[in-house]
Chains A and B, each alone.
Chain A
Amino acid sequence: MSEVKKAPEGLYYTKEHEWLRVEGDLAVVGLTDFAQDQLGDITYVELPEPESEVEQMGEMCVVESVKTAADVYAPLSGVVVEVNSALGDAPELINQDCYGAGWLVKLGDFDRAELENLMDAAAYRLLMAEGE
């Protein structure tokens, strides 16, 4: 029996359980509450190199917990501008505050047209309900 996982309004979502928030020229990316719950206690994050290029739904980085290692996919094509270095010492931020302090990557140089390929909160909540 699982509680309803959070999926805040105003964010975009992917079917691989990443979220994205547009902040001006940058797109902030993280893992959803559903993802962090499935993974369990996060032990390590292998973040991409700044300035590396990513493609929409291409592999961007890897998140490890004790029981598994999961690929994180880029919600949009673009360039990695900044990574959350706080996760080096405190990967648990993803479990504690996945939409805030637990952000993973900020992308720049992205194509706004690609946002159409992503889900909104309502669609994502439906996806989570199906998965349960």
Chain B
Amino acid sequence: MKTIFEKSRPGRRAASLPCSRVDERFCQLSQLPPELRREKPAELPEVAEIDLVRHYTLLSRMNFGVDVGTYPLGSCTMKYNPKFTEWAARLPGFAGLHPLLPQLRRGGLLAQGALRVVYELEQLLKQITGMDAFTMQPLAGAHGELTGIMLMAAYHKDKGNQKSIVLVPDSAHGTNPASAAIAGYQVVTVPSKDGVMDPVAFKEKLNDEVAGVMMTNPNTLGLFNPHIAEITEAAHRADAIMYYDGANLNAIMGYAKPADLGFDIVHLNLHKTFGTPHGGGGPGAGPVGVVEKLMDYLPISRVEMRADGTLFLNYDHPNSIGYVAPFYGNFGVCLKAFAYILALGGEGLKEVSEDAVLAANYLRVKLGDKWEVAFNRPCMHEVVFSAEDKAADYGVSALDVAKALIDEGFHPPTVYFPLVVKESLMIEPTETEALENLDAFIAAMGRIADKAAGDPEALHAAPITTPVGRLDEVAAARHPVLKEPEDQGA
């Protein structure tokens, strides 16, 4: 489809601006000296509102969201995004609130409702995870990881420890080593045994240089590590901090808390476990919780309660790592998660994990007929299959499987992650897919398995029902075209 620039026509406009009604002499633009002005106006679109609305409406119809169909992307928890949370975020009392208001004198009184949201969400997340305090500032999961590593660094610096290494399992999500590296740490990988981080190998790599360990449990293979207490105890004896990547929390709510497993820092992905929408890639939110020994280092400000029950912003934490965000986090996202947790309540959250784990195991057993499961034992909320046998026998890769699923009307699972499984397909149905959808997915995967044996060429050609087929990504990377060239614009 043409871009909005290609649809522009000179003189068309959609802008509707109020009249100034002050005297003409205040019109500053012509008085601006030339060295402060841009030479020519930016070539932005010139379209009427109807054409712009049609353009983006048509684009939306070339997209696939949870609202359209089943989206079993492993590691992403693509559950249903409740609409009432959208309504809540748009309430003018929240949407129109300027973040600097509570920083004025007596300003906290002007934003008590918003401060209540932040404060009460913190209390709920403390209960859910067992942590002693939270910050809502991190603006995404990876941002939470970086914040957590910075807290780890502050702790060690304060204690006079000289530690330069962070350990991660080989199944770790890429953001884990990336976060540790950009925070200045050296990353060392610990191998898995039988699908989970090997406690023996872990202890071999554990030494005085290790500042911390980043893990998730269950891991990216959907497997719960039963040695977790052994691992966290060993880490604590070496004064290493245990960091929990909360991406997989959907598996354990009501059954286990990261604090009880021995973790010191947790980040949560509100856009995964707590149902806030993914937005095509964001915005998310990655609140970070800590145990008491790390509380002093949390970013400022922190929302705290006075004796009279009013809330205020406390900046007086001298050992804080400072600001990781301009204000209090992605408030609009936090608000949606808050609404979600209030709606579900304790029993509801526990049921979420039960249904998520049940659905993933159902797929594990039913898909196991025609697909090779990576680890043949009960999983938690996600399950990993390998297409390696199909690749070897028929030349059909995980990528081909993914593309064929698109033609079947499903969003494919995550492919080629985790790295420890070849031709991996990571499937996470979540708790909000109806049984007939799960059965339809199983049937579709069955047809694809049959086609792999009988007609692999059909799978290589997939998808054929989409507006474009497989794109030449090599050419796109060799000669990148990253914007509409200006000669073509109107």
Contact = CB atoms under 8 A, between A and B. Distances in A.
B477 interface: yes
A14 interface: no
Contacts of B477: 43-44, 64, 66
Interface in A75-129: 91-92
Contacts of A66: 473-474, 477
Contacts, number: 14
A18 B478 CA distance: 22
B476 to A, nearest CB: 9
Q: What DSSP secondary structure best describes chain A's contact surface?
A: loop
A91 B478 CA distance: 8
14 contacts: A41-B474, A43-B474, A43-B477, A43-B478, A44-B477, A44-B478, A64-B477, A65-B474, A66-B473, A66-B474, A66-B477, A67-B416, A91-B478, A92-B478
Contacts of B473: 66
Interface string B476-488: 0110000000000
Interface magnitude class on chain B = under 10
A39 to B, nearest CB: 11
Contacts of B474: 41, 43, 65-66
Interface of B: 416, 473-474, 477-478
Residue among A43, A64, A67 with max Cβ neighbours from chain B (10 Å): A43
Interface in A14-68: 41, 43-44, 64-67
A44 B478 CA distance: 6
Nearest to B478: A43
A92 B474 CA distance: 10
A43 B480 CA distance: 10
A117 B473 CA distance: 38
Nearest to A67: B416
Nearest to A64: B477
B470 to A, nearest CB: 12
A116 B416 CA distance: 39
Contacts of B478: 43-44, 91-92
Contacts of B416: 67
A49 B197 CA distance: 41
Q: Which 10 A-B pairs have the closest CB atoms?
A: A43-B477, A41-B474, A43-B478, A66-B473, A66-B474, A66-B477, A43-B474, A91-B478, A44-B477, A44-B478
Nearest to A91: B478
Residue among A41, A64, A91 with max Cβ neighbours from chain B (10 Å): A41
A98 B416 CA distance: 27
A65 to B, nearest CB: 8
Nearest to A43: B477
A66 B416 CA distance: 13
